[in-house]
Amino acid sequence: MKSIFRATAILSAGSVVNMLVGLLSAKVLAVFLHPAGYGYYGLLQSFVNLAAMVTGMGMASGMVRMGASAVTSGKEMVIASLRRGAWLLFSGLGAVALVVLVTFRVAMSRWVLGSPDHSGTILLMGFALLFTAAINVQTGTLNAYHRVAALAKFAVVNAVLGAATSIACAVLWRVQGIAPAVMGGAIASWAASWYFVRHEVGCVRVRPSGCDTLKAAWSLLRFGGPFTASMLVGTGVQLIMPIVVLHLLGAESVGYYKAAAAISVGYLGFLVTAMGQDYYPRVAAVKEQPRGLIDLINEQHRLIMLLAAPIILGTLAVVPYLVPVVFSQKFTPAVEILEWQLIGDLFKFSSWTMAFAILARCGSSIYFLTESIGGLATVVTTWLSVRWFGLPGLGISFLLTYLIYYVAVWIIIRREIPLVWTTSNKKMMAATVAAALIVRCLPLTRFAHARTSIALVLAIGFGVFSLTILWRQYIGEGRSLSRGIGAEA
C-alpha cells in the first residue's frame, strides 16, 4: 500500500509543477489569443492528439502490458524485440498517416477548423503528430521499465518546454503563432523523452533477430488495433469534443470549453499520471489473481478519494474567482461548465479504477464495449444537453457521461471478479458527491450569498480528514518503521 502512495507522491510532484506551468501558459495564451484564438489552439491540439492516437496504435500500452513482466523477470530479448518492433511499427504507420493527411488535407481543414482554407496548417500538424506518436513510444518504454521518477522528471521538463514554446509564439505572433506553438511543443517534448529513455533505460542491450522483431511488431499491432478502436470510441470522442463544439456553438464556445477542460484536466493531472504509469502496471501484474485484484482496486480507490475529494471541493468553492484569474474576465462563461465537470470527476476517477482492471484482465472486445458505452454516452448527452441548456450543457453532459460509464464498468467488472467496495470507500464516495451537489445547488437557495464560505468549510473539513488518514496510514507508519529499523541497526 505504501508503495502505491510513494509512486503517486513522486508522480504528483511532477504533475503539480506541470499544473502550475500549465496555468501560467494558459493565462498568457488567454490574454494574447482571446477566446476565439484559444479555441483555435485547442482545435489543433485535439486534432494532433487524435491523429497521434491512431498513428500510435496503442503501442505504449502494449509495451507495458507485454513488457512489464519481461522486465521484471529479466527477459532482455523479449523487451528488446518489443522496443524494436514498436519503432518498426511506428515507421510504417507514420508514413501511412502522412499520405492520408496530404491526400485529404482540404477535407480535414474543413472538418477540424471549420474552413477549407487551412490545408497548409493541417500538413504542418502532420509532422507534429509524428513527434507526438514518437513521444508515446518513448514514455511507453519508460513505463514498461517502471521508471516512475524518470516519468515525473519528464513531465516537469515537458511542461516547461511546452509552455516556453507556446508563450513565445503567442507573444511574438499572436494567432499566427498558434500552429508553430503546437509544432514546436511537440518537437521539444520528443527531445526530452528521447533524453530520458537514453539516460534511464539506455539502448537495446541485445540484438533480436528480424523474425523476433516482426513477431513483436505483430503482437503490438494485434493488441493495439482493438485497443485503439476502444480508445477512439472513448478517449477519441473526448478529443473531438472541441470540433463538435465548433460546429454546434461556434469558435468562441470552443475557447470557453477548452478553458474549463484545461482546469478540470490539469488540477488532478497527477492522478491521471499515477493511474496510467503506476496503477496500470500493478493491475497488469495481478490480473490473474482475483483476490489480489479486488484488494488493489479498493486500495487505489481509497487513495484516490483521500487525495481527490478535498481538491475537487476546494476547486469547486473558488471556481467563480479561479476562471477569471487563470484566464481573464472574457472567459467567465466557462465557470458553469467547469462546476458540472468537477462533480463528474468524482465518477470519472472512481470508474477508472475499475476500467484499468478491465483493460488488464479482460479481452479487447470487452474493453471496446466499455469505451463504446462511454463514447456513445458523450455524443448523446452532449447533443441533448447543449440543445436543452446551451453552453452549460457541455458540463452537464460530462457529469451524465461518467455516471453512465461508472454503471457500465461496475457491471462488467462484477462479471469478472466479485468486486465489493469497502465500507470506507462507500462512505467517502457518498459523502463527497453529496457535498459537491450541495455546493452546486446553493446558488438556487436562500443561502446563495454564503456559497463560497460553505464550500470552503466543506473542503477544509474533507482536507483535514484526508490528511489525518494519509498521515496515519501512509506517512506516519512509514516513519515509525524507519525509526525502528534504525534502532535495530
The pLDDT value given to residue 362:
82
Q: Looking at residue 337, what is its pLDDT?
A: 95
C-alpha cell recorded at residue 433: 458527491
Residue type, 453: S
Pairwise CA distance, residues 415 & 360, whole Å: 15
C-alpha cell at 129: 503528430
Q: Can you give the residue ranges of every domain in the chain?
A: 1-223, 286-483
* Residue entry with cell 514546436: 184
Distance (Å) of CA 68 to CA 222, 287, 309, 326, 347: 18, 13, 31, 39, 29
Give me the sign of the Cα torsion angle 5, 146, 152, 135. Answer: negative
* SS3 annotation, 69-117: HHHHCCCHHHHHHHHHHHHHHHHHHHHHHHHHHHHCHHHHHHHHHCCHH
Gap between the Cα atoms of 42 and 257, Å rounded: 9
Sign of dihedral through CA atoms 66, 277, 304, 25?
negative
Q: What is the pLDDT of residue 5?
A: 54
Residue type (1 letter), 386: V
Per-residue pLDDT of the chain (489 residues; tens, 9 = 90+): 555 555 555 555 555 677 778 778 888 998 899 898 999 998 999 999 999 999 998 888 888 878 877 887 778 888 889 999 999 999 999 999 999 999 999 999 999 998 899 999 999 999 999 999 999 999 999 888 878 778 878 888 888 898 999 999 999 998 899 999 999 999 999 999 999 999 988 887 788 888 989 999 999 998 888 888 877 887 788 888 999 999 999 888 999 999 998 888 776 666 676 676 678 778 877 888 889 899 999 998 998 899 889 989 999 999 999 899 889 899 999 999 999 999 999 999 999 999 989 988 886 678 788 888 999 999 999 999 999 999 999 999 999 999 999 999 999 999 989 999 999 999 999 999 999 999 999 988 888 888 999 999 999 999 999 999 888 876 655 454 344 434 444
C-alpha cell recorded at residue 394: 457541455
pLDDT of residue 154: 87
Q: For the chain, give the number of residues.
A: 489
Closest CA to 304 of 398, 452, 421: 421
Q: For position 298, what pLDDT does the model report?
A: 94
Q: Write down the pLDDT at residue 273.
A: 66
The pLDDT value recorded for residue 58 is 87
Q: How far apart are CA 358 and CA 394, in angstroms?
A: 28
Nearest by Cα to 182 from 199, 197, 162, 168: 162
The amino acid occupying position 355 is A
Structure confidence at residue 484 (pLDDT)? 47
